[in-house]
Structure 1
Amino acid sequence: MTLPLAILDLALSAAPWLLLGLGLAGLIKALLDETRLKRWMGGRGLGSVARAAVIGAPLPLCSCGAIPTALALHRSGADRGPTTAFLIGTPGIGVDSLAITYALLGPFMALARAVSAVLTAIATGLLVGRTRGADAPPPASACDTGGCHSGCGDKGSSGLAPAPLSHRLGAGLRYAFTDILDDISRWLLVGLVVAGALIALVPPQQLAGLGSGPAAMLVMAVIGIPMYLCATAATPIAAGLLLAGVSPGTVLVFLVAAPVTSLATLGVFRREMGDRALVAYLAGILVSVLALGLGVDALADWWQLEISRQVEQVQELLPGWLEALALIVLLGLAVKPLRRGLAARLARPSARKA
């Protein structure tokens, strides 16, 4: 398979599921009640940490986009354990990335990714919660970290809550198909190109010999932790690694480690909670992803899973014309001039009626 065909094949497989995931992300954004979220994250201990991780998992925020929300919750009284669990669980997996994971990696890897992201958030939250000492002075602005814009400024759910449901739904969908899509589109393109290159150009046996075991997983974790790569954009790269012969557990380490944190997150976390908390944060993520990667490889061997066959079965669910239509729609929304032109065309009839 040539490189362009490999990229196109991945894009066609992912497009319908990504559109579905973005639509669900918009609904979650519209219906999110920040006041209730703060109440659910109150307290200390396993219960509050687990709630924060589970609540954060489906939310449509990337790593740096989760920073202002997590810090706002922390400064409103949430303990450092639940705050950390929310900060890790939110970018680790979302409804958009879960949909594309199902499409490109199959049901087993989608479930393993979701469970692993939540367990990593819980374990690290509990570890950070045990650290003590005065918090460092808060940064001037949680949105000054750069990298992405989701969740910053006045786009939070608190600004949408007073509006009628229809307005909130419209605003949530606009947020998903503009802000989130703008944040992930460039990195998603990079991910598709890298994945296509791995599938088309790298002999499977070359990576199969290097892509399993604790050493390979440690390399994946060390590469992934400081990166800024959102969960959705990491998925095509993971698919390329898996189809090129890397073990499911090693791929899972990359899938979890790359999105849950970034250099921007690390810097803000240190300023907010101090050095000891930062060490616990990094240790919790590293140990958790390595243990989960080894566990997933053991399960895959025990059950004799054929991951590539699962991927083929998922991709056979949708007809080719629907995949092509979804990709055209996705490109129209992702390319800003096309999106603006479509919005202007849709606005003309309503302006005439008015």
Structure 2
Amino acid sequence: MEFLADILNEFWGVLGEMAPYLLFGFLVAGLLSVFISQKTVERNLGKPGISSVAKASLFGIPLPLCSCGVIPVGASLRRNGASKGATTSFLLSTPQTGVDSILVTYSLLGPFFAVYRPIVAFVSGLLGGALVEVFDKNGSRFNGDIEDPCGDSCGIPEQRTGNKLAQAFKYGFVSLPQDIGKALIVGLVIAALISYIIPDDFFTGLFGTGIASMVVMMVVGIPLYVCATASVPIAAAFMAKGISAGAALVFLMTGPATNAATISTIWKVLGKKTAFLYLLTVVISSLAAGFLLNYIYTSESIPSMPHAHQMVPGILENSSAVVLILILSYALIQPYFRSRTTRKAFEMSDAQELNIKGMTCNHCAANVQRVIEECPGVDEVTVDLTAGKAFIKGEGFDLKCAIEAVTKIGYSVA
């Protein structure tokens, strides 16, 4: 029992450290979701050249999209005229960071790291986009010819009429926590276990501070699916046990930016050459940024876990942690009750059902719903993310159209 109490103490320490900043990040992310529309992004990225590549990388930095949620956005940008280079730039910079993860980075790793991380995300996006512009100019459309069935599907929530503040709060404190909640809790548990089990300076003696530790973090990060926010407590715990700041940065870049599903989808919709350049950019930029960070980042700047900074009063940390736990609990439990209600309602109707594989977040579910709604004859679509199902109502609609629309944007129908 003492073991569990110590683990829980480590968990709560990290949670309290990041909670005030993450809650503020949720609020800002919600406001961004309302006031930055898909059309605004597309209008600025539609022209070829390095300026669109730079804008794409810059637009991606504050958006709270994970590597799965950013794919539909990239698909929409590409279909609406963005060059391959601009699309690649956006796909590179966006999942590495976001306003929520920047604030969490500040809370656990300090201000220098919080500034350096988005700068590196911007530069890597710029580099990847430029490489694609130079070496993969061919093709003005997606491989697979994604047409109108995709509609305006996008990971950026649509602007709607009505109370924008209510929409912002719903996205920031319901939808976004649902998307990152599981990964965040897993990340906190892993960080707590690392802090408790692994001796101080263990990794310093094992890998040193050179390229070996960076390669290890890269091998761990590339195939792993971890969002930009959930990766921060893990990286902070590794640093507290002797991993260099540069190696931690490599993990923070490769974990969110790459995983098997992301690479395979980019291969499918942008081509194998672009997929190779994407992966090459992540490898080169993460190693280069890691080496530079080790050179300029002093040991005195490295925080200790779990309390790196004491800028926030303890009562605010603890109360924020309680609020965050309540938000995450609601976000994780509510979809299961909604899923049961949805299934019961549609089982008693004449709706047709599709089993869809590959949906991992609310952005995915919204994307699937929008493309199915574009099919002629469809009256109503409800997507159950928890069950991985879409329920479709309508007279005379073609089920084949719905299946094709879903598969063309990177998901599969069982």
Shorter-chain TM-score bucket reads: 0.7 to 0.9
- Structure 2 gaps, min length 5: 335-414
Q: Which residue of 1 aligns with 2:138?
A: 133
Report the Cα distance in structure 2 between the residues aligned to 1:169 and 1:326, rounded to whole angstroms.
21
Larger mean CA deviation between 224-233 and 39-48 belongs to 39-48
| TM-score of the aligned structures, taking structure 1 as reference length | 0.85
Matched ranges for 1:1-354 at <5 A: 2-130=6-134, 131-134=136-139, 135-138=142-145, 156-158=156-158, 160-161=159-160, 163-164=161-162, 167-209=163-205, 210-301=207-298, 305-308=300-303, 315-336=309-330
Cα shift at 1:99: 0.6
Whether contact under 8 Å (2:227, 2:256) holds in the other structure is: yes
Report the Cα distance in structure 2 between the residues aligned to 1:279 and 1:86, rounded to whole angstroms.
16
1:270-319 CA distances to partner (integer Å, 9 max, x unpaired)? 11111111111111110110000000001124xx6432279856x31111
Report the Cα distance in structure 2 between the residues aligned to 1:211 and 1:199, rounded to whole angstroms.
19
Letter aligned with residue 328 of structure 2: A
Cα shift at 1:186: 1.0
Report the Cα distance in structure 2 between the residues aligned to 1:285 and 1:56, rounded to whole angstroms.
16
* TM-aligned CA distance change 1:272 to 1:338, over 3 Å: closer
1:125-159 CA distances to partner (integer Å, 9 max, x unpaired)? 1112221434421469999xxxxxxxx9687443x
Whether contact under 8 Å (1:217, 1:253) holds in the other structure is: yes
Q: Indicate the SS of the match to 1:115.
A: helix
| TM-score of the aligned structures, taking structure 2 as reference length | 0.73
Report the Cα distance in structure 1 between the residues aligned to 2:15 and 2:118, rounded to whole angstroms.
22
* TM-aligned CA distance change 1:116 to 1:77, over 3 Å: same
Report the Cα distance in structure 2 between the residues aligned to 1:201 and 1:27, rounded to whole angstroms.
40
Cα shift at 1:183: 1.4
Report the Cα distance in structure 1 between the residues aligned to 2:324 and 2:223, rounded to whole angstroms.
29
Report the Cα distance in structure 2 between the residues aligned to 1:326 and 1:243, rounded to whole angstroms.
24
Letter aligned with residue 270 of structure 2: M
Larger mean CA deviation between 45-54 and 243-252 belongs to 45-54
1:214-255 CA distances to partner (integer Å, 9 max, x unpaired)? 122122123212221100000110010111111101101101
Q: Indicate the SS of the match to 1:227.
A: coil
Query: Matched residue pairs, number?
Result: 325
Q: Indicate the SS of the match to 2:65.
A: coil
Report the Cα distance in structure 1 between the residues aligned to 2:121 and 2:144, rounded to whole angstroms.
29
Letter aligned with residue 217 of structure 2: M
* TM-aligned CA distance change 1:155 to 1:257, over 3 Å: closer
Report the Cα distance in structure 1 between the residues aligned to 2:127 and 2:155, rounded to whole angstroms.
30
Cα shift at 1:91: 1.1
* TM-aligned CA distance change 1:260 to 1:142, over 3 Å: farther
* TM-aligned CA distance change 1:310 to 1:129, over 3 Å: farther
Report the Cα distance in structure 1 between the residues aligned to 2:91 and 2:302, rounded to whole angstroms.
30
Whether contact under 8 Å (1:139, 1:271) holds in the other structure is: no
Cα shift at 1:337: 8.0
* TM-aligned CA distance change 1:211 to 1:85, over 3 Å: farther
Give identity over the alignment, percent: 35
Cα shift at 1:179: 1.6
Whether contact under 8 Å (2:213, 2:244) holds in the other structure is: no
Cα shift at 1:47: 1.7
Whether contact under 8 Å (2:46, 2:80) holds in the other structure is: no
Report the Cα distance in structure 2 between the residues aligned to 1:141 and 1:325, rounded to whole angstroms.
48
Provide runs of 4+ in structure 1 moved above 4 Å.
Answer: 138-143, 152-156, 309-313, 337-340
Choose between structure 1 and 2 for higher RCO, CA contacts under 8 A separated by at least 6 residues.
1
User: Who wins on radius of gyration, i.e. which is larger?
Assistant: 2
Whether contact under 8 Å (1:91, 1:259) holds in the other structure is: yes
1:73-114 CA distances to partner (integer Å, 9 max, x unpaired)? 111000011111111111111010011110011111111211
* TM-aligned CA distance change 1:337 to 1:230, over 3 Å: closer
* TM-aligned CA distance change 1:174 to 1:339, over 3 Å: farther
1:50-82 CA distances to partner (integer Å, 9 max, x unpaired)? 111111100121111111111101110000111
Whether contact under 8 Å (2:76, 2:153) holds in the other structure is: no
Report the Cα distance in structure 2 between the residues aligned to 1:288 and 1:109, rounded to whole angstroms.
16
